Structure 1
Amino acid sequence: MLPAPRPFPFDKFPPRSAPSSLLAAALSLWLSACAPQQQMEAPAPAPQLAGTPQVPAEEEMTKRPFPIDTFYTLLVAEVAGNREQYDVALANYYHQAERTQDAGVAARATRIARFLNARRAALRSAKLWAELEPDEAEAQLAATAELTLAGDLETALLHATKALKLGGDAPLQSLAATAVSNRELTEQVMPEFQRLAQQYPDNGEVVLAYAMMLRATEQYPEALSLVRRVQEQHPDLLDAPLLETHLLVDQDRRGEAIQLLEKLVAIYPRESRLRLQYARLLIREDLTLAQQQFAELVKQNPEDGNLILSLGLIRYETDSLDEARPLFERLLKLGQHKSAAHFYLAGIAERENDVAGAVAHYRQVEPGNDYVEAITRGTELLADAGQFVDNREWFAELRQRHPQQAEHFYLMEAELLRKNEEHRLALELIDRAREKDSESGRLVYTQALLNEQMGNTVAFERGMRQLLERDPDNATILNALGYKLIEDESRREEALRLISKALELRPDDPAIIDSMGWIQYRLGNHSEAEKYLRQALEKLPDHEIAAHLGEVLWVQGHREQAMEVWQDGLKKNPQSKIIPAAMKRLQINESLEQHASDS
């Protein structure tokens, strides 16, 4: 059994005139023409189309007859609307509006298009309607709204002015809100807003729109004066005090804004806009009170995902995890802000050391603001737990899902393995990646570094030479290869040439300056080495540079200075293995030298 058809939802935009009342009359004639001729009973009245007043057929047909194909097309549109085939209804009305140039049909097309959020069709039909009925305020308002959405503010203002003259209440605040997003556009239309405010000084909508423009151009005192005048004239127009609070904040008068909002919220406890502004301002002043306001907003608007998320975030940041969790779970049930909800539920699980729960939520975060962070944190959790198989599956899924980012995910997985000292697994992964993308410079570079960390200096140099063939002036590669060659006493002159070229290309790079200091030390130029290493450490307080400078100072006999440099380096990086290794090695060497001299 088929469900009963719902009426077309034209009541969302109630009509002010018939879609050419001719349509109802013509439909009556068309239906009666199809009735059996032998029927002697009085004919039944014609079906009333949604939003179409009955008009005597003879009167309307005298005004303007329509071709039968037009009537048929509009009839199909109405039937389609009743069957919820709104795209068909819109297409027919839109086509007939342009074909017939009938104001009623254009009005109907506009309302349907706006209901369906079909912006291009709504714009064209609204402009047509306004042209066909220049003295109809609703037509001018519809054109104003659609032109504003399209960004044609100058033309929108023309229609808004016509609407005001006809007694309509043009949506000038919406127009102003669009204008202030662009400084050049603001200055362009400002004179027209000023003229309208002077012409209609008692129209709160018009004056507030001008005040918004003044605020956008930082004319705060003038804007505040206008807003307060509107409040005196229209005490129930809450847009005015709301704008006042923004102006007070603009002038660093947050305390006054909060006091005003506190009074307004007490007077209008159900007015969400006021309470929301109050809650937002309180976030920086009193987080506990802000939380109370958001809790009340959620209570009043239990299905508003934005408010639920805001309250959840406050509770999350204040470590009220047991109160935050059900809010994020409610978002999942509502199907709103699902990625954010999963992200913060993962964070809650992570804080509770529930690795499996955290990863499960992180994996459900979709591409967007938190996506990369979710992948990073989730895979780090798995790596720290030694669950490399699970990580492998996740990264494989990511590479399949985002093939253009496959290289990035290979590198990300390899770095996690490297950080956990799984160098062999990392190298195997990059080897597999290079089989699929042999030309990737980043993969070649990572592969070379991994080979170096595993002691395969031949493979390391081969990779670096390969990269230099492609880009001989790559300072990073020149420095990396040169620094590695320092270890081979027979190749230090070659190392010096490579590092010198790198430093010439990037003279302010602390890593390259450190390399130059280290090669000078290895060549026996201690004072020159100290100069470079001090310069590098000043630019970048890195523990490896500190280890190098300390060693140079130590061998020159400046042992107190060396100890100070090392200790400072360990304060900045307590996990450093390089500094303790250097200290131990130098003390051992000193002991050996002392032993040799005693002998």
Structure 2
Amino acid sequence: MPTKTAQRPADGKQPLHTLSVATPDADHDVAALLMQAEFALGKGDLRAAQKGYAKASQLSSDPKVAERAVGLALALHDSAAAQQALARWKVLGADEAGLQRARAQIALDQGRTEDAQKALMALTERGSKQDWQRFGKVLLGARDAAQAGQLLEKIATPQRLPKDELAWLAMSELGQKLGRYAYAQQIADIAAERFRSSQTYAWAAQLHAQRGEDQKALALYAKAVSASPQDLDVRMAYAGLLAKNGDNQGAERVLAKGPQNSRSFAARAAFAARTQDLPALKRIYGELRKAPDDVRESSYYLLGQLASLLDKPQEAVDWLAKVPSGDEHAFDAGVRRAVLLQQLGKPAQAHALVKRMRDDHADKADVVQRLDQVDAELYMRGGDYAKAAVAYTRALSADKHDAELLYGRGLAYAEAGDIDAAVADLRAVLRLKPDDINAVNALGYTLVDANRDLDQAEKLLTRAHAAQPDDPSITDSWGWLQYRLGHLGKAEAALQASWKMRPDPEVGAHLVQVLLDLGKRTQAGEVYRDALKLDPDNRHLLALKGKL
């Protein structure tokens, strides 16, 4: 501590009061200019930002400020501002590569192709990876793709490119983006031959596939998989091309080797399902059940699908119940589960599930309508046609002119015996969709089955039969019409053809009736037994039991 009292200045002022500090104005304050420029950038105002950096570069000795001013001017394609900033950057000590890149961009903007080529040649002279990256960015930013493509082919030749496979791949991809497809393929093919890596083989294969040269692509993909058998992306690409060319089994085999995830399991299942390859589906199902927890948990929906395909409905229900509510397949999983519960003889559970889903989506009219339709279809499957009609009516409340729902309700009314309502709905469908042959056939058959308005029914079914003579359902309707008209020979021929094309309990019942009327009881008994195996509870067949 001082032992004497400090003396005040003679004039009575503190030292800071006599200090003079020079404060620059806004146009000469580098820090302020840079701050303003960054604020402008934040608002997306490139023009104001460039002006701020240009002013700051004239006051600052930092070359990075000038470089920033150059970059913003080039982004704006302002050649004059870019040249001015470039001159300042050069004075402050710009690196040669940066100068050549900027000169090339300015030349490209001004349409001076030769000057741009000269600068780009100088830029890539050293052959470093970074310089070729700069080269690619210059051409990507060019406004004239044709001009950029010409320069790419002249400068990025196989003789000049560095011994770096990524540089070759980048130049090939750049050629593809600039529309220089032959160049892109040439560079890719040479790279594949030179580097023999999975990446180069796969890229060359992809380009050949895009050109429709699938056989060349397949050969290259095979080499890519051989070079890197653990690369799932390459195996997926190879498998996809095999499947496109009809080799679904080969596609599944390619994916079966190596690491697996939910994506590969899904693709394998799809390829196997296309050819109904049950052994492959069983193998995939077994593998997926034993997969790591994260893979299995993200594949509950797929497990449910596989179990269903393998005729394991209860297992399918159990898997589908595990699909999380946030999963993209959650809705489909719920619908599929309801169908399987119906199939398992648990209709009450099926309808209860649909109701819960309906309540969960009460605020989504389109989803509610879809669920009402599902409910109706479940009732149809269960033979409860009156309730099916009610569910269809509920679904139609959102759109009374929905042709698909009207068609479904028409069939439900017909099965329930309300022929007038069925005919009204099916006629409404034909007003909405006059060329719908399924609706034409349905209306014709409904009239025939009710044995009414046969003249109209004959016109409808003649039209349907002419449009689709090989459709088993239409052939059945046509045969049943002939029976109603008393043409037993024609009826037998049509119904035998329909039965041969697609054995169906109702078709079988029609054929049995005709054979009985023709006195062919032995044949009728044989068809009856075969049809009963398909559906022992079919009401049309059971109605004939007494006659046999």
Question: Shorter-chain-normalised TM-score: which range?
Answer: 0.5 to 0.7
Which among 392, 398, 422 is matched to residue 355 of structure 2? 392
Partners of 1:130 and 1:136 within 8 A in 2: no
After superposition, the Cα gap between the structure-2 partners of 1:38 and 1:355, relative to the gap in structure 1 and judged at 3 Å, is farther
Partners of 2:262 and 2:299 within 8 A in 1: no
Deviation at 1:470, TM superposition (A): 5.4
After superposition, the Cα gap between the structure-2 partners of 1:581 and 1:329, relative to the gap in structure 1 and judged at 3 Å, is closer
Establish whether residue 443 from structure 1 lines up as the match of residue 405 from structure 2. Answer: yes
Cross-structure match for 1:574: 534
Establish whether residue 379 from structure 1 lines up as the match of residue 338 from structure 2. Answer: yes
Letter in 2 for 1:400: D
Letter in 2 for 1:376: V
Which among 160, 166, 174 is matched to residue 123 of structure 2? 166
Cross-structure match for 1:75: 35
Cross-structure match for 2:8: none
Partners of 1:365 and 1:371 within 8 A in 2: yes
After superposition, the Cα gap between the structure-2 partners of 1:495 and 1:324, relative to the gap in structure 1 and judged at 3 Å, is same
Deviation at 1:255, TM superposition (A): 5.5
Establish whether residue 413 from structure 1 lines up as the match of residue 372 from structure 2. Answer: no
Letter in 1 for 2:191: V
Partners of 1:479 and 1:502 within 8 A in 2: yes
Letter in 1 for 2:35: L
CA distance in structure 2 between the partners assigned to 1:109 and 1:320 by the alignment: 59
CA distance in structure 2 between the partners assigned to 1:219 and 1:562 by the alignment: 72
Cross-structure match for 2:488: 526
Paired residue secondary structure (1:439) = coil
Paired residue secondary structure (1:400) = coil
Which among 40, 49, 57 is matched to residue 97 of structure 1? 49
Partners of 1:514 and 1:533 within 8 A in 2: yes
C-alpha offsets along residues 169-222 of structure 1, whole Å, 9 cap, x if unaligned?
137899999xxxxxxxx99987665433437534345644566669x9699996
After superposition, the Cα gap between the structure-2 partners of 1:521 and 1:90, relative to the gap in structure 1 and judged at 3 Å, is same
Letter in 2 for 1:201: R
CA distance in structure 1 between the partners assigned to 2:386 and 2:30 by the alignment: 76
Deviation at 1:389, TM superposition (A): 2.4
CA distance in structure 1 between the partners assigned to 2:80 and 2:383 by the alignment: 72
Deviation at 1:411, TM superposition (A): 1.5
CA distance in structure 1 between the partners assigned to 2:79 and 2:45 by the alignment: 12
Cross-structure match for 2:446: 484
After superposition, the Cα gap between the structure-2 partners of 1:483 and 1:312, relative to the gap in structure 1 and judged at 3 Å, is closer
Partners of 2:185 and 2:204 within 8 A in 1: no
Deviation at 1:290, TM superposition (A): 0.5
Partners of 1:448 and 1:463 within 8 A in 2: yes
Partners of 1:423 and 1:450 within 8 A in 2: yes
C-alpha offsets along residues 266-325 of structure 1, whole Å, 9 cap, x if unaligned?
xxxxxxxx676479769754666413xx5xxxxxxxxxxxx6755898899352355435
Deviation at 1:457, TM superposition (A): 2.5
Cross-structure match for 1:458: 420
Deviation at 1:421, TM superposition (A): 3.5
Task: Count residues with an aligned counterpart.
Answer: 459
C-alpha offsets along residues 409-466 of structure 1, whole Å, 9 cap, x if unaligned?
3212311232234444433322333344333333333223222222223332333344
Establish whether residue 432 from structure 1 lines up as the match of residue 400 from structure 2. Answer: no
Which among 516, 519, 522 is matched to residue 478 of structure 2? 516
Which among 477, 490, 500 is matched to residue 462 of structure 2? 500
Partners of 2:33 and 2:52 within 8 A in 1: no
C-alpha offsets along residues 539-581 of structure 1, whole Å, 9 cap, x if unaligned?
65655445545654565466777678778878xx834755992
Identity of aligned residues (%): 20
CA distance in structure 2 between the partners assigned to 1:567 and 1:162 by the alignment: 88
CA distance in structure 2 between the partners assigned to 1:187 and 1:565 by the alignment: 73
Which among 266, 270, 290 is matched to residue 258 of structure 2? 290
CA distance in structure 2 between the partners assigned to 1:514 and 1:144 by the alignment: 76
CA RMSD of aligned residues (A): 5.9
CA distance in structure 2 between the partners assigned to 1:124 and 1:399 by the alignment: 55
Cross-structure match for 2:75: 125
Paired residue secondary structure (1:437) = coil
After superposition, the Cα gap between the structure-2 partners of 1:241 and 1:565, relative to the gap in structure 1 and judged at 3 Å, is same
TM-score, normalising length: structure 2: 0.60
TM-score, normalising length: structure 1: 0.56
Partners of 1:77 and 1:89 within 8 A in 2: yes
Partners of 1:483 and 1:495 within 8 A in 2: yes
Letter in 2 for 1:261: S
CA distance in structure 2 between the partners assigned to 1:285 and 1:469 by the alignment: 51
Cross-structure match for 1:359: 321
CA distance in structure 2 between the partners assigned to 1:463 and 1:506 by the alignment: 23
